[in-house]
Chains A and B, each alone.
Chain A
Amino acid sequence: MITKRIIPCLDVDKGRVVKGTKFEVLKDVSDPVELAKFYSSSGADELVFYDITASNEARNIFLQVVEKTAYEVYIPFTVGGGIRSIDDIKKVLRAGADKVSLNSAAVNNASLITEAALKFGNQCIVLSIDAKRVGQSWHVFINGGRQDTGIDAVEWAFKAETLGAGELVLNSIDADGVKSGYDIALNKEISENVRIPVIASGGAGKMEDFLDVFVCGKADAALAASVFHFGEIDIRELKNYLHLNKVNMRL
């Protein structure tokens, strides 16, 4: 049986992981490669590196991080943040990433999804949607959640599937950082209506939140950052807990 996936997300700035971690086993908790190895050996199913760097100079440092990670880690990883063109995608895939995640650039230019899917295969094109509840529905936000596009998030998810995205990341702006659980309704609404896998993001605070988003939210994978980085949730314990609650896990 296919398993649900647990995915730690690492924000990287100038080659260093931001949001400090406190793993005593690691010599350098801000080294993305070391942290990636640690998560891989702790049972993480995939990794996401999110480049929050603005300057071009620092982007090259980020590409070196991707390359080093590919040498050391034998689980799949996705790279996101600031990817705007086919050339950007080519660079991170060449550096060794397995997938890229597109966000604002795809909203501004939807044909980028199709172009990228045809060139690199839809399995490596992940569309990340920053969604926030507005009235009875969810809107797509861009530019780091600052700008409301007015686009309906559920419709955008359907469209992205048609355009060739291979996976969706649903990042709930309402739930992000609050640690009171994933946006179950958003995940369920989209996951039940698309045929591509859905990765829930934003809001994980405790182990039950993961169970909820898999069972009630119908997500295929769950992404989280701080609960893992700060050691609040241990990935192995989490996977054992989910397994005991009848969620398929790679143990």
Chain B
Amino acid sequence: MIAIIDYGAGNLNSVYKALIKIGAEVMITSDPIDINTCSAIILPGVGSFGAAILKLKELGLDIGIRENVAKGKPLLGICLGMQLLFDRSFEDGNWEGLGLIGGEIIKFSDPCLKVPHIGWNQLILNRNDDIGLGIGQGEYAYFVHSYYALPKEDDDVIFYTEYGIHVPAIVRKGVVIGMQFHPEKSSETGIKLLENFIEIVNKTEMNL
């Protein structure tokens, strides 16, 4: 069972429906007990970083997520959910994140760029990884965001996209995976990436 964390933000249903479609067993929950018993966690998210991290703390989910990741449970953060994985964000303030991947979240600053970065942009491979299996160079994914990740280690970036600068599109550190775009809205490419995540989850269960 995969748990999609409901912390009051965003369009959880799209992620839920996409996972059902590919045959995954999935539930939407905000209960820390479910986070302990599930086989993998998905942290979705639309909205603002500050509100999201405060809500996670209020529900005790920040600790729950960290503990389960420490035990080797796969975690997928999507869009804001990916940004929450990092140390810190400067979205409307200075917020501490979950600290699962080293780095910060900062705003696009090039005055020539339209912000939010909205639309279909290409995935460019930085490093081979199981999450990217079967994804061709330059396939498109749907992005919607005004802030982006600046990871401490380049090795944590699996795919990036070009938007004035290299924007990390998929990051991974051990069992922690993040996607800046919306796989559930990225047509066949997105569905394939979600299938890859499920595959990683299945393998992990066997190794436990």
Contacts and interface: CB of A to CB of B under 8 A. Distances in A.
A93 B143 CA distance: 18
A30 B161 CA distance: 38
Contact of A75 (B118, B163, B185): B185
Given A2-B120, A3-B120, A123-B144, A74 B18 contact: yes
Counting contact residues on chain B (CB < 8 A from A), the size range is: 35 or more
A70 interface: yes
Nearest to B117: A2
Interface in B130-161: 140, 142-146
A74 B116 contact: no
- Interface-central residue, A2, A76, A96, by most chain B CB under 10 Å: A2
Given A75-B142, A98-B14, A197 B116 contact: yes
Contacts of A93: 11
B46 A124 contact: yes
Interface residues of A, number: 30
Interface centre among B18, B185, B186, B188 (most CB of A within 10 A): B185
B18 A123 contact: no
- Chain B interface secondary structure, helix, strand, loop or mixed? mixed
B206 to A, nearest CB: 29
Interface string A1-34: 1111100000000000000000000000000000
A197 B119 contact: yes
A220 B17 contact: no
B163 A2 contact: yes
A76 B116 contact: no
Contacts of B115: 195-196
Contacts of A2: 117, 119-121, 143, 162-163
Given A121-B46, A197-B114, A250 B120 contact: yes
Contacts of B185: 74-76, 98
A1 B121 contact: yes
A74 B11 contact: no
Contacts of B48: 118, 121
Contacts of B191: 74
B145 A123 contact: yes
Contact of A45 (B117, B119, B163): B119
15 contacts: A1-B122, A3-B121, A5-B120, A70-B17, A74-B185, A74-B186, A96-B13, A98-B144, A98-B185, A123-B46, A123-B146, A167-B116, A197-B118, A197-B119, A220-B114
Interface of A: 1-5, 40, 45, 70-71, 74-76, 93-94, 96, 98, 118, 120-124, 166-167, 195-197, 220-221, 250
